[in-house]
Structure 1
């Protein structure tokens, strides 16, 4: 028997949930290819470690950017590898639920379904990430109560107000954690004339990055390549500098949340004041993000338990009661 699967196809990480088992895979959405032979050399964590460290003929790529498929062929190969790792073969064709951004276009929707079908899925259904996150966070989405979820991912940030099993108000922007990393890279390049890699910028964000001032902050050493002489160099970055570098991206996320709240029906706005906003996604782990959002929206903001896994857990719960949640899947 094929094991039905739920896949959170994220820009940064891909998680796979097997029906009756729970999460069986959690890997970075990276695939390493040999350009000469077009052969897949590695996928996931192993491929992620190759970013910025490969010879010219080997390339480590992320097939999804800003929540969209940028390379259909590579995405298809990645999904096939994921399904193979999950035990899918020619004789077992599972039902697959794929979590996708709400802002996805009809063309992108078809691309995800087609990639999944070619990779071996018997049936593919799509579910919006904020809706899956709300289910994974055990929010009462089927009741006539407003539940606001903010999903800050690698390539997109989505704010959804959910009630009676559907999305009432939605604001989605193609700004996420990778844009914050890119802003740090650009700041270090322009301010110090030092080039740093994608992984180094991510390390800076995790170590000293913040959306608002937090107690006990300290500076960090950052190593990169001097653009003038090409030699390695070490600089010291302060949390204040990083905060200034990423302020535009953080502000865009905050503004999108406030904008969604403004569009909400008055009755549901009252519920948000009472129950607050629920944060999920890797970007929600940025220090000071809950405080910054709470201050701007003037409502309580809380991080859900296991924010990185909430989306795939929600999709997995839809798998467990597949026939009862048909109305929640995208057309």
Structure 2
């Protein structure tokens, strides 16, 4: 996947006159929507805004073939084209849409950590998304943000955010024209009274212009350049208007004839000729949108002008080009100003996000009744509390009632007359007996007919390391690589390496674990994969099969490495659905506190 930088976001903005604001009709007065963090999913760099600073944590992630995260953000972007082919550099959030749910969660977690939210209480997040998202796409984005740790999630379209940043009369019945040029897409919208009256997708985008520059260099110079190099040309000598002094930029590429590096010099006029057809098409689409507006809307557009927002607004001369072609005053709004204003101004945020909502406010009488009820419950609780030193008269009067109602702890006949230490030792002996009985029962299990080897666990890997533990038995005791390792609870893992007197076992949750399994009474077949966490994932299940939480997962024996019937874990919930099959999450039965295991001979 090609990734590329964008023009500087520090574009000077021109604000329209400030007009008085009124709340939206459907928003009850006094209600508010609280937000701690705003994230622009329409930006190539995953632009993040907090109340005090602006960040660009980046939307890229580098993963290994087993799915382990190698780098995030800017570091992952620098790895593009510079790492071995098996390392994938992906952007799971593109144009506000989730391409890979698991990777999108990791990217959003990184963005939240960069913004300072590392504790158990997540931020209240405002996500800027395109206007054309479907309900399922909005639901996917919201679920990804919640899974990443967000306490609450609010969505707002990018055109209304741009209108808020340009200080337009967003909540008044006055029409405003917003053009948002993103890295991969573009759209225009007419907004009035907090609503989008007309929304149209545009063909022009920064990535489209980069492709046009690559085609120009390939056609005129017989040189192949990357999207990064085309981005450099656009930022250096790219211009939307043909006039002005001609500029040149030297770049390097691959000679198509010989395949060797070659340095060329590209002029600003050549770059303008490459993007001119796209700019003409952009102007024509905006003219069609303006001419289809009503007379009242046209009057408002003449007054408020056109607001140009997004990364593509940084192209030189684009403001003058649109001003000449559409005959409207064009204002360039800097990236992040709209989100920053929504974070700071509670009334504007509540009115904008609350359009169409119906919130039910508490009446004073209901608040008073709730307070009286809570005070009454508190008084009864204090009255029924166990008597203690310094108790008040009310507690003393209720002491006999409390003593009579308090349940007595059960005492077994065998434990009568024993001290606390003796009871504790008796409980330990009982647990040890239960464990030994279960181990003896394992030896007679059908999957242990080939014989077993007993071993003890020497040590577990520290937290954060891939799931491994070490046994006190090795090659001299008959341990071999690939032998299944079971405990009294179920399958613990597989022997991955063997030395003379010890062996290393890979846990069931290790990312390299792959086991043929079946689930439920119906015996639906799938493949169990480790997730390098506390859970595993059972994939390749028939989408028509209904699987419920709590159902048992066992080995099927179809892979030839694990005998059939070994308990693996229980289903805890559904995993993100794939296109042609379904998946469920599985919690392994075997815990990391086991000290004795059995190795199955094959």
Q: Given the two structures, how large is their TM-score scaled by the length of structure 1?
A: 0.89
Secondary structure, in 3 states, of the residue corresponding to 1:140?
A: coil
Aligned partner of 1:244 in structure 2 is 273
CA gap of 1:193–1:68, structure 2 versus 1, over 3 A, is farther
Deviation at 1:202, TM superposition (A): 0.5
Who is 1:59 aligned against? 88
The 5 Å alignment of 1:99-178 reads 99-173=128-202, 175-178=204-207
Structure 1: gaps (5+ residues): none
User: In the alignment, what sits opposite 1:234?
Assistant: 263
Distance in 1 separating the partners of 2:136 and 2:345: 24
Q: Indicate whether 1:14 and 2:46 are aligned.
A: yes
Contact 2:97 2:141 in 1 (8 A): no
Distance 1:27 1:89, change over 3 A: closer
- Cα drift, residue 200 of structure 1: 1.0
Q: Aligned-pair distance for 1:89?
A: 4.0
**Alignment correspondent of 2:55:** 25
RMSD, aligned α-carbons = 2.5
Which of 252, 259, 278 pairs up with 1:223?
252
Preserved CA contact (<8 Å) 2:42 2:94: no
Pick aligned residue for 1:205 from 230, 234, 237: 234
Tell me, yes or no, if structure 1 residue 5 matches structure 2 residue 34.
Answer: no
| Partners of 2:202 and 2:285 within 8 A in 1 | yes
1:330 deviates by 9.8
TM-score normalised by structure 2 residue count: 0.50
How far apart in 2 are the matches of 1:63 and 1:51? Answer: 15
Deviation, 1:326, is: 3.2
Between the aligned partners of 1:197 and 1:109, the Cα distance in structure 2 is: 33
Which protein is richer in helix relative to its size? 1
Counterpart of 1:326 (choices 353, 366, 369) is 353
Give the direction of change, closer, same or farther, for the CA distance of 1:176–1:69 in structure 2 (3 Å limit): farther
SS for the counterpart of 1:98 is strand
Looking at both structures, which has the greater relative contact order when contacts are Cα pairs under 8 Å and sequence separation is at least 6? 1
Gaps of 5+ in 2: 1-33, 359-602
| Aligned-residue offset at 1:203 | 0.5
Which residue matches 2:309?
280
Q: Tell me which residue corresponds to 2:116.
A: 87
Instruction: Give secondary structure in 2 for the equivalent of 1:246.
Output: helix
Q: Does 1:188 align with 2:217?
A: yes
Shift of 1:267: 0.6
In the alignment, is the contact (CA less than 8 A) between 1:141 and 1:165 conserved in 2?
yes
SS of the aligned residue for 2:84 comes to coil
Report which stretch shifted further, 45-54 or 113-122. Answer: 45-54
Q: Is the 8 A contact 1:11 1:62 kept in 2?
A: no
**Could you tell me which residue of structure 2 aligns to residue 312 of structure 1?**
339
**2:504 aligned residue:** none
Rg larger in structure: 2
SS at match of 1:22: coil
Deviation string, structure 1 residues 235-268 (Cα, Å, up to 9, x no partner): 1212122112222332333233223212322112
More deviation in 175-184 or 309-318? Answer: 309-318
Closer/same/farther in 2, CA of residues 320 and 46 from structure 1, 3 Å limit: farther
User: Do 2:129 and 2:157's aligned partners in 1 also have CA atoms closer than 8 Å?
Assistant: yes
State the 1:50 CA deviation.
2.6
Question: Which sits farther off after the overlay, 93-102 or 6-15?
Answer: 6-15
Judging changes above 3 Å, is the alpha-carbon distance between structure 1 residues 59 and 293 closer, same or farther for their aligned structure 2 residues?
Answer: same
Deviations 1:203-258 (A, max 9, x none): 00000111112412212112011233221101121212211222233233323322
Per-residue CA deviations over 1:86-134 (Å, capped at 9, x if unaligned) read 2334621222110001122222212211111111112211101010111
Q: Give the match's secondary structure for 1:93.
A: coil
Matches of 1:245 and 1:189 in 2, distance apart?
Answer: 11
Provide the C-alpha distance between the structure 1 equivalents of 2:49 and 2:356, rounded to a whole number of angstroms: 17
Q: Residue 78 of structure 1: CA displacement?
A: 0.8
Deviation at residue 13 of structure 1 after TM alignment: 2.0
Between the two proteins, the alignment pairs up a number of residues equal to: 325
Instruction: Choose which of 288, 291, 300 in structure 1 pairs with 2:329.
Output: 300
1:41, 1:330 → 2: CA distance?
A: 42
Q: CA deviation at 1:286?
A: 0.5
